[in-house]
Protein backbone atom coordinates (compact mmCIF):
# COMPACT_ATOMS: atom_id res chain seq x y z
CA UNK A 1 0.00 0.00 0.00
CA UNK A 2 1.31 3.46 -0.84
CA UNK A 3 1.39 5.94 2.01
CA UNK A 4 0.82 9.70 1.69
CA UNK A 5 4.55 10.36 1.60
CA UNK A 6 4.84 8.08 -1.43
CA UNK A 7 2.23 9.71 -3.60
CA UNK A 8 2.68 13.37 -2.73
CA UNK A 9 6.20 13.93 -4.11
CA UNK A 10 7.31 13.65 -7.71
CA UNK A 11 10.13 11.12 -8.08
CA UNK A 12 13.51 11.34 -9.70
CA UNK A 13 14.09 7.77 -10.84
CA UNK A 14 17.72 6.85 -10.34
CA UNK A 15 17.55 4.32 -13.18
CA UNK A 16 19.16 1.79 -10.85
CA UNK A 17 16.25 -0.57 -10.71
CA UNK A 18 16.98 -2.06 -7.30
CA UNK A 19 17.44 1.35 -5.73
CA UNK A 20 14.23 2.76 -7.25
CA UNK A 21 12.45 -0.26 -5.85
CA UNK A 22 13.92 0.29 -2.36
CA UNK A 23 12.82 3.95 -2.57
CA UNK A 24 9.29 3.13 -3.75
CA UNK A 25 9.83 4.83 -7.11
CA UNK A 26 12.94 6.94 -6.75
CA UNK A 27 14.39 9.90 -4.89
CA UNK A 28 11.79 12.58 -4.12
CA UNK A 29 12.64 15.33 -6.59
CA UNK A 30 14.68 18.18 -5.16
CA UNK A 31 16.15 16.13 -2.32
CA UNK A 32 19.80 16.47 -1.34
CA UNK A 33 21.13 12.99 -0.66
CA UNK A 34 24.38 11.94 0.94
CA UNK A 35 26.05 8.97 -0.77
CA UNK A 36 28.40 7.90 1.94
CA UNK A 37 30.97 5.16 2.37
CA UNK A 38 34.66 4.42 2.52
CA UNK A 39 37.01 4.28 -0.44
CA UNK A 40 36.17 1.77 -3.17
CA UNK A 41 32.60 1.10 -2.07
CA UNK A 42 31.14 2.33 -5.37
CA UNK A 43 30.05 5.91 -4.59
CA UNK A 44 31.43 7.44 -7.78
CA UNK A 45 30.16 4.59 -9.96
CA UNK A 46 26.64 4.75 -8.54
CA UNK A 47 26.50 8.54 -8.78
CA UNK A 48 27.61 8.54 -12.41
CA UNK A 49 25.03 5.93 -13.31
CA UNK A 50 22.33 8.14 -11.76
CA UNK A 51 23.47 10.98 -14.03
CA UNK A 52 23.79 8.89 -17.19
CA UNK A 53 20.23 7.54 -16.85
CA UNK A 54 18.93 11.05 -16.26
CA UNK A 55 20.79 12.38 -19.31
CA UNK A 56 19.43 9.53 -21.46
CA UNK A 57 15.92 10.48 -20.34
CA UNK A 58 16.50 14.10 -21.34
CA UNK A 59 17.25 15.50 -17.88
CA UNK A 60 20.37 17.60 -18.04
CA UNK A 61 22.91 16.22 -15.60
CA UNK A 62 26.03 17.70 -14.09
CA UNK A 63 28.93 16.08 -12.29
CA UNK A 64 31.21 18.33 -10.26
CA UNK A 65 34.43 16.47 -9.73
CA UNK A 66 36.88 17.31 -7.02
CA UNK A 67 39.06 14.28 -6.79
CA UNK A 68 39.19 12.81 -10.29
CA UNK A 69 39.85 14.40 -13.67
CA UNK A 70 36.74 14.41 -15.89
CA UNK A 71 38.65 12.67 -18.72
CA UNK A 72 39.36 9.71 -16.46
CA UNK A 73 35.70 9.48 -15.55
CA UNK A 74 34.68 9.30 -19.18
CA UNK A 75 37.09 6.40 -19.65
CA UNK A 76 35.43 4.55 -16.78
CA UNK A 77 31.97 5.21 -18.17
CA UNK A 78 32.81 3.78 -21.59
CA UNK A 79 32.62 0.35 -19.92
CA UNK A 80 28.89 0.77 -19.52
CA UNK A 81 26.65 -0.73 -22.14
CA UNK A 82 24.16 2.09 -21.69
CA UNK A 83 26.69 4.92 -21.94
CA UNK A 84 26.81 7.02 -25.09
CA UNK A 85 29.65 9.50 -25.62
CA UNK A 86 27.19 11.79 -27.37
CA UNK A 87 25.70 12.59 -23.96
CA UNK A 88 28.87 14.56 -23.30
CA UNK A 89 29.36 16.12 -26.74
CA UNK A 90 25.71 17.19 -26.78
CA UNK A 91 26.09 18.56 -23.24
CA UNK A 92 23.33 16.41 -21.79
CA UNK A 93 25.90 15.23 -19.29
CA UNK A 94 28.25 18.00 -18.18
CA UNK A 95 31.48 17.21 -16.34
CA UNK A 96 32.95 20.06 -14.33
CA UNK A 97 36.34 20.16 -12.66
CA UNK A 98 35.92 22.01 -9.36
CA UNK A 99 39.58 22.99 -9.43
CA UNK A 100 38.85 25.14 -12.49
CA UNK A 101 35.97 26.82 -10.66
CA UNK A 102 38.25 27.54 -7.71
CA UNK A 103 40.74 29.20 -10.07
CA UNK A 104 38.01 31.22 -11.77
CA UNK A 105 36.61 32.42 -8.44
CA UNK A 106 39.99 33.03 -6.80
CA UNK A 107 39.31 30.32 -4.24
CA UNK A 108 42.60 28.46 -4.44
CA UNK A 109 43.13 28.41 -0.69
CA UNK A 110 43.21 25.85 2.06
CA UNK A 111 40.65 27.58 4.27
CA UNK A 112 37.46 29.27 3.16
CA UNK A 113 35.82 32.21 4.87
CA UNK A 114 32.03 32.41 5.04
CA UNK A 115 32.19 34.80 2.10
CA UNK A 116 34.20 32.29 0.05
CA UNK A 117 31.60 29.62 0.81
CA UNK A 118 28.81 31.90 -0.34
CA UNK A 119 30.68 32.69 -3.56
CA UNK A 120 31.07 28.96 -4.25
CA UNK A 121 27.40 28.19 -3.53
CA UNK A 122 26.31 31.08 -5.78
CA UNK A 123 28.48 29.80 -8.62
CA UNK A 124 27.12 26.25 -8.38
CA UNK A 125 23.53 27.54 -8.21
CA UNK A 126 24.18 29.85 -11.16
CA UNK A 127 25.43 26.97 -13.32
CA UNK A 128 22.46 24.81 -12.36
CA UNK A 129 20.03 27.62 -13.13
CA UNK A 130 21.57 28.76 -16.40
CA UNK A 131 22.06 25.29 -17.82
CA UNK A 132 18.75 23.91 -16.53
CA UNK A 133 20.45 21.12 -14.59
CA UNK A 134 17.98 18.59 -13.14
CA UNK A 135 20.48 16.18 -11.59
CA UNK A 136 23.66 17.17 -9.82
CA UNK A 137 26.46 15.20 -8.21
CA UNK A 138 29.24 16.75 -6.14
CA UNK A 139 32.05 14.23 -5.68
CA UNK A 140 32.98 14.80 -2.98
CA UNK A 141 31.38 17.18 -0.51
CA UNK A 142 33.94 16.02 2.07
CA UNK A 143 36.77 17.61 0.13
CA UNK A 144 34.92 20.95 0.16
CA UNK A 145 34.03 20.64 3.85
CA UNK A 146 37.71 20.05 4.51
CA UNK A 147 38.32 23.70 3.63
CA UNK A 148 35.67 24.99 6.01
CA UNK A 149 36.79 25.95 9.46
CA UNK A 150 33.90 24.95 11.73
CA UNK A 151 30.94 22.63 11.92
CA UNK A 152 28.75 25.72 11.85
CA UNK A 153 30.20 26.65 8.46
CA UNK A 154 29.65 23.15 7.12
CA UNK A 155 26.05 23.28 8.32
CA UNK A 156 25.52 26.68 6.67
CA UNK A 157 27.14 25.52 3.44
CA UNK A 158 25.08 22.36 3.01
CA UNK A 159 21.82 23.97 4.17
CA UNK A 160 22.25 26.93 1.85
CA UNK A 161 23.26 24.81 -1.14
CA UNK A 162 20.52 22.24 -0.53
CA UNK A 163 17.83 24.90 -0.19
CA UNK A 164 18.79 26.72 -3.40
CA UNK A 165 19.02 23.51 -5.42
CA UNK A 166 15.75 22.20 -4.05
CA UNK A 167 14.01 25.45 -5.01
CA UNK A 168 15.27 24.85 -8.56
CA UNK A 169 13.90 21.29 -8.51
CA UNK A 170 17.41 19.88 -8.88
CA UNK A 171 17.98 16.46 -7.28
CA UNK A 172 21.46 16.31 -5.79
CA UNK A 173 23.80 13.57 -4.65
CA UNK A 174 26.57 14.69 -2.33
CA UNK A 175 29.32 12.08 -2.18
CA UNK A 176 30.70 11.75 1.31
CA UNK A 177 33.95 10.00 2.10
CA UNK A 178 34.13 7.99 5.28
CA UNK A 179 37.26 6.67 6.90
CA UNK A 180 36.93 2.90 7.30
CA UNK A 181 36.72 3.17 11.08
CA UNK A 182 34.70 6.37 11.45
CA UNK A 183 31.47 6.33 13.43
CA UNK A 184 28.24 7.82 12.01
CA UNK A 185 27.51 8.52 8.38
CA UNK A 186 29.75 11.46 7.57
CA UNK A 187 33.21 12.77 8.30
CA UNK A 188 32.12 15.84 10.26
CA UNK A 189 28.84 14.50 11.62
CA UNK A 190 26.98 17.58 10.37
CA UNK A 191 26.38 16.52 6.78
CA UNK A 192 24.23 13.54 7.75
CA UNK A 193 21.95 15.60 9.97
CA UNK A 194 21.16 18.11 7.24
CA UNK A 195 20.82 15.92 4.16
CA UNK A 196 17.32 14.85 3.08
CA UNK A 197 18.58 11.33 2.55
CA UNK A 198 21.49 9.05 3.37
CA UNK A 199 22.54 6.08 1.25
CA UNK A 200 25.28 4.13 2.97
CA UNK A 201 27.68 2.00 0.93
CA UNK A 202 29.94 -0.44 2.69
CA UNK A 203 31.99 -3.58 2.59
CA UNK A 204 31.12 -6.85 4.21
CA UNK A 205 33.18 -9.97 4.51
CA UNK A 206 31.29 -13.16 3.90
CA UNK A 207 32.95 -16.56 3.90
CA UNK A 208 36.21 -15.14 2.58
CA UNK A 209 34.54 -12.86 0.02
CA UNK A 210 34.47 -9.08 0.31
CA UNK A 211 31.01 -7.90 -0.73
CA UNK A 212 29.83 -4.38 -1.39
CA UNK A 213 26.63 -3.37 0.39
CA UNK A 214 24.01 -0.62 0.14
CA UNK A 215 21.53 0.56 2.73
CA UNK A 216 19.12 3.49 2.64
CA UNK A 217 19.35 5.01 6.11
CA UNK A 218 16.92 7.86 5.56
CA UNK A 219 15.02 9.51 2.72
CA UNK A 220 12.64 12.37 3.36
CA UNK A 221 9.46 12.28 1.30
CA UNK A 222 9.12 8.55 0.84
CA UNK A 223 8.83 5.32 2.74
CA UNK A 224 11.66 2.93 2.01
CA UNK A 225 13.29 -0.30 2.98
CA UNK A 226 16.11 0.02 5.53
CA UNK A 227 17.43 -3.44 4.77
CA UNK A 228 20.99 -4.04 3.65
CA UNK A 229 21.48 -5.10 0.03
CA UNK A 230 24.44 -6.63 -1.75
CA UNK A 231 25.71 -4.28 -4.43
CA UNK A 232 27.34 -5.57 -7.59
CA UNK A 233 29.12 -3.31 -10.09
CA UNK A 234 28.59 -4.69 -13.59
CA UNK A 235 28.79 -3.50 -17.20
CA UNK A 236 25.02 -3.08 -17.18
CA UNK A 237 25.24 -0.94 -14.07
CA UNK A 238 24.71 -1.31 -10.34
CA UNK A 239 22.79 -4.46 -9.40
CA UNK A 240 21.25 -4.92 -5.98
CA UNK A 241 20.16 -8.14 -4.32
CA UNK A 242 18.70 -8.68 -0.85
CA UNK A 243 21.28 -9.67 1.70
CA UNK A 244 21.02 -13.24 2.92
CA UNK A 245 21.29 -13.40 6.67
CA UNK A 246 24.10 -15.03 8.63
CA UNK A 247 27.84 -15.57 8.32
CA UNK A 248 28.77 -11.94 7.59
CA UNK A 249 31.17 -9.59 9.28
CA UNK A 250 30.91 -5.88 8.65
CA UNK A 251 34.04 -4.05 7.55
CA UNK A 252 33.64 -0.44 6.55
CB of 87: closest distance to ligand ADP in angstroms? 17
Of 88-96, 144-152, 157-165, 228-236, which segment contacts ligand ADP by CB under 6 A? 228-236
Question: DSSP letter at 9?
Answer: S
Residue 246 belongs to what H/E stretch? none
CB-nearer residue toward ligand ADP: 24 or 44: 44
CB of 68: closest distance to Mg ion in angstroms? 7
| Percent of the chain that is helix, strand, coil (3-state, to 5) | 35, 30, 35
Question: DSSP letter at 228?
Answer: E
CB-nearer residue toward Mg ion: 61 or 153: 61
CB of 138: closest distance to Mg ion in angstroms? 12
Interface mask toward Mg ion for 16-55; x: CB under 5 A: ---------------------------xx-----------
Residue 135 and residue 217: Cα distance in Å, rounded?
A: 21
CB of 180: closest distance to Mg ion in angstroms? 14
Q: Which among ligand ADP, Mg ion, none contacts residue 189 (Cβ within 5 to 8 A by kind)?
A: none
Closest CA to 216 of 229, 203, 204: 229
Binding to Mg ion (CB under 5 A): which residues in 189-248?
none
Half-sphere exposure of 86 (CA within 13 A, CB side): 4
CB of 198: closest distance to ligand ADP in angstroms? 15
Cα–Cα distances in angstroms (integers) from residue 218 to residues 8, 12, 94, 185, in the given order: 17, 16, 28, 11
Residues near Mg ion (CB under 5 A) are: 43-44
Amino acid sequence: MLRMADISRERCRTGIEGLDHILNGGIPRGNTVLITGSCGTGKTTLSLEFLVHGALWGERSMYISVTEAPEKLVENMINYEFFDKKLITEKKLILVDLQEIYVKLGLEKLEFTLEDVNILVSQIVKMVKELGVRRLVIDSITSICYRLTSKEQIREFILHLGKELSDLGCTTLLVSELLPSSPGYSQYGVEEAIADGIILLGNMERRGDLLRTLQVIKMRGTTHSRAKYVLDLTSIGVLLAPMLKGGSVEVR
